[in-house]
Amino acid sequence: MAHATRFSSLSNVAGLGVGGPSVPRVRPSPILIEDLSPSVDGGRRRSKRCAGDNVLVSATIFRDGHDVLAGAIRYRPAGFSRWREAPLSQSAPDRWSGSFTVTDIGCWSWQLTAWTDRFASWREELSRKLVAGQQDTESELLEGAALLEDLLLCAPSADRPALERAIATLAAAESAVVRQDAALAPALLEISARLGQRAGQATSPRQEIDVERPRARFGSWYELFPRSWGGFEGVQAQLPALADLGFDVVYLTPIHPIGVTGRKGRNDAPQAAPGDPGSPWAIGSPEGGHTAVHPELGSLADFDALVAEARALDIDIALDFAVQCSADHPWLSEHPEWFFRRPDGTLKYAENPPKRYLDIYHLDFDCEDWRGLWQALLDVVLFWVARGVRVFRVDNPHTKPVAFWEWLIESARAIAPETIFLAEAFTRGPMLQALAKAGFSQSYTYFTWKNSPYELREYVEQLTASPIRDFLRPNFFTNTPDILSDYLVTGGPPAFAVRLLLAATLSPSYGIYSGYERFEATPRQPGSEEYFDSEKYQLVERSLDGPLLPLVGRLNAIRREHVALQLFDDVTFLTVEGDGLLAYAKRAGGETLIVVANLDPHTARDGVVIVPQGLGLAPAFDAEDLLDGEVYRWRLGRNYVRLDPALRPGHVLTAVA
């Protein structure tokens, strides 16, 4: 019995198949590929890029021993079975990198492959021996001839003469020096690399990239209430002016019929007075729900005309997708099972204490017919997609299951791949990131509340850190109908100008809510972020004539003209000696921009901005302010700056050739 036990244990140790792993049937590759970038959650989620981007990839690649490695990137768009290849090169010890270009929107796959270059390994070993003065290389030269004979078997006719001459020289030449020189000829190394004999090849796990159209990353948004502009026809009339100002996306708050039951009054009053229009987010009435339009805004034909005019001006019309219903929404009678009921049978209205939304009911994603609910919501999105809408701002997605959004976005893009989804999710970091990984193209951020140089620098550096930058794209809205920051309330017009400058130059995507250009900053009560006489609950007559619009138009023009402002992770914060100033450089396309802003809207501030080396700038250069054309003399190192908020919010500087 003891002998049997001992034999069993020995069998396990030897891997002979008794209770333990057996020897692999196929020899494992000795090469390890680790720490791939970009890679989100170990490849379980997709990174994000836009069509036309050059995707930089890297990995740690190594093996036992001293053999020379080679590698390549394999990549392909969705629907293609054949891989394309791009070379990998060693950028640091054991670190390899390369790039490829994604040309079309959709899901792209890539992986890395690496192998031992037997001829290069032999050549490198021979070279080291000769450098060390070891001249007895007979065996090595014969080994080299054998390797070249292997290459000859797969060589095209153009390469065969060179290989045959080298083989003959290595095998038969009398002079050792002649044989060694022939072995080390660069042409042989080039032929070997091109023929690509891949010994011990290893392949990394496949990674995926969600490639979207460039507007998913770069765009200037203008948010408005259509009812304040004369409905669809009134908004359409403003489109040429909005296009001239450089806006790429016109975002409409909900355009659907508004419920009467529980309707809110002016300034969020719990009861509406006669004539109060209600909040557009209280969606649904006997006239229809999420696929109907409020009759006072116009007809579906009017909406179609608005979308067509916007498209002609290269503007996207973005719709608000709010997954909620008023008490008068048709779904309450057609699908009562989709709503949460308390034990006494009453519906649970929406609330986020201390806020109470008595005019809104949430849908119950835990209901028995959750599949029917998911499909109905997808049908809503596809209804508007069929009418030409390709951008959706999603209201509070963090209060719905992430799995639902992943399914809905993938389903919508299967029909319209160019569709963009913006997540309005002011929530915890893990949920914000989970929504981005689920497919949201962009995300609202906490930019609105970051107002000091330290806060802004820390926050932007968090967003640009790897791997977050590979899947989360921020949209820096300066304000929203729900967010009037204390900085704007107390800072006056200079605060509006500097926040606009920051949003437009820090983030490729930013937005303003109408009224911002008119410096609207009266809160409902002290300390509140709600607007007094909020447009959410009453009719307002709007016109596009605010005093901040010239700066808006100039910044949007600068953004379109300079690639550095169309990217997010190219920012380098500069050291500033002096309080209240923030300075950063953005570099792309062979150009460097330097932005300096005075974050104190009340007081002129001065200080020294230190420009480091490594930004592609000359030791001394003329710096033109793109905002007004003034030219200053700057240099690497220390540069004095003084900014008076009453005169200018900051500088946007570029080196003059």
Q: Is 124 a catalytic residue?
A: no
Which residue, chain included where needed, has tokens 């992430």? 402
Q: State the catalytic residue, choosing from 424, 517, 520, 600.
A: 424
In which region does residue 244 sit, left (phi positive, over 0), alpha (psi from -120 to 50) or beta (all else)? alpha
In which region does residue 29 sit, left (phi positive, over 0), alpha (psi from -120 to 50) or beta (all else)? beta
Our CA angle for 259, 262, 265, nearest 5°, is 90
| CA dihedral sign of residues 35, 40, 42, 46 | negative
DSSP percent split of the chain into helix, strand, coil, nearest 5: 35, 30, 35
Q: Is 424 a catalytic residue?
A: yes
**Residues 97 and 56: beta-carbon distance below 8 Å:** yes
In sequence order, the 6+-apart residues with CB closer than 8 A to the CB of 9 are none
| Angstrom distance (rounded) from CA 409 to CA 420 | 9
Torsions phi, psi for 212 (to 5 deg): -115, 170
Q: Is 626 helix (H, G, I), strand (E, B) or coil?
A: coil
| Angstrom distance (rounded) from CA 78 to CA 377 | 26
Q: Tell me the CA distances in angstroms from 339 to 35, 100, 252, 327, one per residue in order.
A: 46, 48, 27, 11
Q: Give start and end residues of each alpha helix (H) in 464-524.
A: 486-506
Q: Tell me the CA distances in angstroms from 222 to 219, 235, 245, 492, one per residue in order.
A: 10, 12, 10, 21
For residue 66, what are its two tokens?
């001293």
Q: Residue 90 corresponds to which amino acid?
A: Q
**Residues 139 and 231: beta-carbon distance below 8 Å:** no
Q: State the catalytic residue, choosing from 67, 316, 359, 395.
A: 395
Where in the sequence numbering do the catalytic residues fall?
395, 424
